Amino acid sequence: MTTDHKLRSLPAVDTLLNSIEGQQLIAEFGRVATVAALRQALNDARRRLNDGELPDVRTLVLSSARSQLSREFGSSLRAVINATGVIIHTNLGRAPLAESARRAMLEVAVGYSTLEYDLDAGARGSRLHHAEALLRAVTGAEAALVVNNNAAALVLLLSALAQGREVVISRGQLIEIGGGFRIPDVMAQSGARLVEVGTTNRTRLDDYERAIGEATALLLHAHASNFRIVGFTETPSLADMAALAHRHGLWLVDDLGSGALLDTAVYGLEHEPTVQESLAAGADAVCFSGDKLLGGPQAGIVVGRKAIIDRLRQHPLARAVRADKLSLAALVATLRHYRKGDAVDAIPVWQMIARPLEELQRTAQSWAAELGGEVIEGESTVGGGSLPGASLPTRLLALDVPGATAFVAALRAAPTPVIARISGQRVLFDPRTVLPGQEAALVATVRACLAQRADA
């Protein structure tokens, strides 16, 4: 058959659309997308025919179109099972939400809500007040504001309080946060001028005092939540910094980052400074994340003096970084657990931190009974830029799998992806970060991947 005859044998788009397979594609993906995919698949088939290949053209075109549409319509943002043992896993979405937070998001998502409506007054309200009362009650702050993340909170603070003026910060606190963003670069966007004092490992109170001048607007303290400097170190206490700032009529802003509202030391971890402690030490404004140790949605939260919060609300940037209704609903539901005193029982991050070792042992043993392997001792980490270097004892299921890298890739490619880690040639699964109700899916996925390897 000549090439011209081969090309004339290509089915028309209408013929493919009217076939049983074409109608199924339309039902799944819509007519417009299906037509475009079939045309692309026909073009690809035409090129292959010109190269001398003679496949089953009709089947090839329909199969190619389905593959293209599945890729186009498939979501790259998918739920996974986190078996790594990293509790606040930045790459996996940080803190999973409490059931109450999920319900609250659904409630405001399916219809209209009082996002900016005052039911009592029957008039326009403000989204800025939904979480404020709870934040004041939980932290003891005079006022509070929620924006879309903590970097935005810091930029807003510096823009409102120090634009065109100087901000004094220790060189040891010029940190880099996730995604390669650095505190000096974030500060620069606010229009504030950075004044570095001290050294990487030692900064004294008089270093701050010598840097204070007529152009100084505030002192900034940035908590080292994602790294640790040990050895020959020195840094003044937050209370001493607050006293110095206030003696000179300046503000003290504490970028706390991790957002702990409970004492981590109670659960066998190092003590992470809490928001309440920062305020009690004299910080005028404290900013932190909503989706780290707080255990809520992505948000940037600022608590502190009413005079500062009022300036933030009135700043033009506040609208650009405001939180959306879903985040506010989830945050309010999460904060209620702190107010009620049941955060450890209801919020997944704290459930995982507080999970007893005996329970982890039982879970790992039940997995081993179904999948084989060995239960070994291990360590879980908090992650997410919180408590660097700190870990919790755990129990792991360790599978000796030839080609461990390929095996964990197969786990990731499963319909319900499982994210595990490798140590040597062993694949490790930590039950601490596998959420309630996910155990059966994890076992089924691992069993299926083991069976595929056995059949290969």
Residues 38 and 178 in one domain: no
Dihedral sign for Cα atoms in the order 327, 332, 333, 335: positive
Is 420 part of a structural domain of the chain?
yes
Residues 234 and 369 in one domain: no
Domain final residue, candidates 316, 346, 376: 346
Q: Is it the case that residue 66 has pLDDT exceeding 70? A: yes
Average pLDDT score, the chain: 91
Is residue 94 assigned to a domain? no
Instruction: Clarify whether residues 305 and 333 are in a common domain.
Output: yes
Q: Which residues contact 197 (CB under 8 A, 6 or more apart)?
A: 168, 169, 170, 171, 203, 207, 208, 210, 211
Tell me, yes or no, whether 249 and 306 share the same domain. yes
CA 65 to chain centre: 35
What number of CA atoms fall less than 13 Å from residue 55's CA on the CB side? 17
* 293 and 164 part of one domain: yes
pLDDT digits 0-9 by tens, 204-261: 899 999 999 999 999 999 887 555 666 566 788 999 999 999 999 999 999 998 889 9
User: Do 134 and 106 reside in the same domain of the chain?
Assistant: yes
HSE-CB of 40 using CA atoms within 13 angstroms? 13
CATH of the domain at 449: 3.90.1150.180
Pick the last residue of a domain from 346, 376, 399.
Answer: 346
Residues 149 and 285 in one domain: yes
Q: Which domain holds residue 119?
A: 99-346
How many other CB atoms are found less than 10 A from the CB of residue 212? 19
Q: What is the reported pLDDT for 52?
A: 64
CATH number at residue 270: 3.40.640.10
Position 119 confidence tier, pLDDT thresholds 50, 70, 90: very high
pLDDT tens figures, 292-350: 999 999 999 999 999 999 999 999 999 999 999 999 999 999 999 999 999 999 999 99
pLDDT digits (tens, 9 = 90+) for 1-46: 455 555 666 888 899 999 999 999 999 999 999 999 999 998 888 8
- Per-residue pLDDT tens digits for 350-405: 999 999 999 999 999 999 999 999 999 999 999 876 677 788 999 999 999 988 99
The confidence score (pLDDT) of residue 56 equals: 73
Helix axes 99-109, 325-340, angle to 10 degrees: 150
Among 299, 331, 346, which residue terminates a domain? 346
Residues 174 and 287 in one domain: yes
What is the predicted pLDDT for the residue at 437?
94
pLDDT bucket at 186, cuts 50 / 70 / 90? confident
Q: How many domains does the chain have?
A: 3
Q: Is 171 inside a domain boundary?
A: yes
